[in-house]
Amino acid sequence: MLSSVLSSDRAIEANLVIMRTFVNMRKSLAGHEELVGYLKDMALTQNWHSDQIQEISEKLNWILNPPLTDAPRRQIGYPAGA
């Protein structure tokens, strides 16, 4: 960079601005890696929760609508007229 070779105040200031810009860009990109990792973890957790909710929903459905059987039902109580 020409600004690092020149020794004027303006060139030094320009060099500092350029260096700070690159440092900020690097920090920003490092922050995105952390964010991407967090989002991946969140997606895995959401998928796990989704599977658990699906399983609970299926069990509740089975309880609310039990499968019908053709087996004769046993009579409960005493026969009428006895």
22 assigned to some structural domain: yes
76 assigned to some structural domain: no
CB atoms within 10 A of CB 33: 9
Interatomic CA distance for residues 22 and 3, integer angstroms: 15
Whether pTM exceeds 0.85: no
How many domains, in total, are found in the chain?
1
Domain containing 27 equals 2-61
pLDDT digits (tens, 9 = 90+) for 19-49: 999 998 888 777 777 777 888 888 888 888 8
pLDDT digits (tens, 9 = 90+) for 1-18: 555 566 788 888 888 899
79 assigned to some structural domain: no
66 assigned to some structural domain: no
H or E element that contains 22: helix 9-64
